[in-house]
Amino acid sequence: MELGVGLVSAEPRDSVQEGNSTDAKAASCKESVPGSRVLWIIVSRKLQPITELPEKEFLRTWWEIVLCHYKLWKGGIYHRDISESNLMYYRNAQGVAVGVLNDYDLSSAKQVQQGSERTGTVPFMAIELLEQKDLEGHITHEYRHDAESLVWVLAWVALHYKGGARLPRKDRPLEVWQSLQAAECSEKKAAFVVRGRRKIVPPPSQQENWEVARRCLMELTAHYSAEHSEEFIMTVEEVFEKWLYNVVKDFLG
């Protein structure tokens, strides 16, 4: 799975390399002459939205991105903005879809309390991060928050897409979340996790993907029910295994 971008420098030492654009630019600034200009061109593989994939292929590629995100988090890279539009793919030489976690604008190399700056895309954010206590800076963005966002993306696609095409607006049950303020969206999502998911009927072709999402949402229900108990604090490994791996493994051949 490719994570880097190619960097092409217009300086005399032109080269193409894999790496972090921020680090590369910082290095060039140290070496540049005051008043000079350096042209940087960021080159990346052309990516397509993961939502374009047919159902079975989508689930496999989504899972690739889940694994990629988990390894990045374990390695100290925290994405913090999981959304439908940031999950992409490309096809390799064999025609196989390869998942790519895109857009690291809000990522960081350390975990910090958010203060008054809420990061993320509201419909896909963890319920806890949409509450007032997060806006007041009392919550650190943890792995479990991004893991929950990945579940919300799965549920969103399972209910809003059919065969890689988006359903008409009237058939997209969660669409209203796009226009809600954070606190109201938090309430809607909490109600959906507890009760709403039981009433949802996905497109026939999305039955399996919705079942995966539904089981993941059941784990979220148990988590929020245990919010004030010792079970509420889980390690990164425990969240990954309980919320994601133990559910998805039964659906991937």
Q: What is the pLDDT of residue 34?
A: 66
- Cα–Cα distance measured from residue 245 to residue 25, given in angstroms and rounded to the nearest whole number: 38
Distance of CA 171 to the CA centre of its chain: 24
pLDDT in tens, 114-131: 544 556 789 999 998 888
Q: Is the pLDDT of residue 17 over 50?
A: no
Q: Is the pLDDT of residue 24 over 90?
A: no
Q: Is the pLDDT of residue 91 over 70?
A: yes
- Cα–Cα distance measured from residue 241 to residue 166, given in angstroms and rounded to the nearest whole number: 30
Q: What is the pLDDT of residue 119?
A: 66
pLDDT in tens, 137-150: 667 889 999 999 99
134 vs 92: which has the higher pLDDT:
92
Question: Which stretch of 13-17, 180-184, 210-214 has the lowest confidence by average pLDDT?
Answer: 13-17
Q: What is the pLDDT of residue 228?
A: 52
Side chain identity at residue 65, one-letter code: I
Average pLDDT, the chain: 81
Domain with CATH 1.10.510.10 in the chain: 48-248
Structure tokens given for 101: 């976690």
Contact 120, 106 (CB under 8 A): yes
Cβ-based neighbours of 46, under 8 Å, separated by 6 or more = 90
Distances (CA, A) of 170 to 88, 174, 177, 205: 25, 10, 14, 18
Contact 188, 136 (CB under 8 A): no
- Cα–Cα distance measured from residue 187 to residue 124, given in angstroms and rounded to the nearest whole number: 13
Q: What is the pLDDT of residue 19?
A: 46
Q: Nearest to residue 59, comparing CAs of 143, 154, 141, 129?
A: 154
Confidence of residue 90 (pLDDT cuts 50, 70, 90): very high
Contact 17, 7 (CB under 8 A): yes
Tell me the CB-side half-sphere exposure of residue 25, using CA atoms within 13 A: 10
Contact 53, 164 (CB under 8 A): yes
DSSP 113: B
Q: pTM of this prediction?
A: 0.80
Note the CATH number of domain 48-248: 1.10.510.10
Residue % of the chain over a pLDDT of 90:
55
Q: Is the pLDDT of residue 64 over 70?
A: yes
Average pLDDT over residues 71-88: 92
Confidence of residue 233 (pLDDT cuts 50, 70, 90): low
Q: What is the pLDDT of residue 120?
A: 78
